[in-house]
A and B are shown apart, each in its own frame.
Chain A
Amino acid sequence: MLVLTRKTNESIQIGDDIEMKIIAVDGEQVKIGIEAPKHIDIHRKEIYLDIQKENNAAVGAGSLDILEKLSQQMKKN
C-alpha cells in the first residue's frame, strides 16, 4: 500500500479525475472530501462489506417454500 502524508486542505490526485482532499482532522476522525466521476461509486468500506455479506446470505438463504408461505400470508392480510 502506498502511504502518503498530507496536511489539512492538501489533496491526493488519483489518475486523471479523482481527487481526495483532507478537509479536517479532529482527534481520531479525519474528514475526507472526494471528487470523482459519477460512474465511480464511493462507499464506506464496512458498509460495502455488509452489503456483500447480506447478498451472499440472500442468495444462499431458504427455499421457495418459505416464499410460498410469505405469499400466502400476504393474501390473508
Chain B
Amino acid sequence: MKLQTKHLGEVDIQQEEIYQFEQGLPAFEEETAFVLLPFSNDNIFFILQSVNNPELAFVVANPFHFFNDYQVKLSDSVLEQLAIEKEEDVAIFSVLTLEEPFNKTTANLQAPIVLNASKNKGKQFVLTESDYQTKHSLFPQQAQTAENEKGGR
C-alpha cells in the first residue's frame, strides 16, 4: 500500500510492516499504527511514521550506537503486552528531539520505543526505576562546547 509520510514523501509499505501500538504513545494515545522507515542506509536513524496521520512522525535512533552502556530492563508487563518470547525479536529505539545546531539533538532514554518484530507490536515503555531522563545529548562534548561558545558571545 502507498503511505504518505511527513519526511519521506510517498512510500510503498506492506501491511505486515505495520506495528500496532495498542495504547498509542504518551500525548498521542490515539495513534496506534506505525511503520519504521530507514532514514538512510546507516542503520542508525529511522522514522517512526504514523500510518493514519501523515503529519505525525518521530525521528528515532539506535541508542546503543551513542550510549554504549545503555540498559533497558523490560518489565513482565511489557513482555506480556508485546507478546515477547525471544530476545532476538526485540528492537529498542530512542525518540530524538532534533535541535539546531544538530549537535544539540537529544535522545529520550527514559522512554524507549520497544518493538517486537515477530508479532508486529510496539510500545513506548516508560522506565520507572532508572536514572535515565528524557533529554540525553547525542554528542555531550560538542553540545558543551556549543553552549560555552554561546555563553562567550
Contacts and interface: CB of A to CB of B under 8 A. Distances in A.
Contacts of B81: 38-39
B63 to A, nearest CB: 13
B144 interface: no
Q: Is the interface of A mostly helix, strand, loop or mixed?
A: helix
B134 A50 contact: yes
Contacts of B39: 67, 71
Contact of A41 (B44, B77, B98, B139): B77
Interface size classification for chain B:
35 or more
B7 A64 contact: yes
A70 interface: yes
B124 to A, nearest CB: 7
A54 B80 contact: no
Interface residues of A, number: 30
Nearest to B56: A59
Interface string B26-70: 111000000000011010110000000000111100000100000
Nearest to B127: A47
Interface of A: 38-39, 41-44, 47-48, 50-59, 61-64, 66-67, 69-71, 73-75
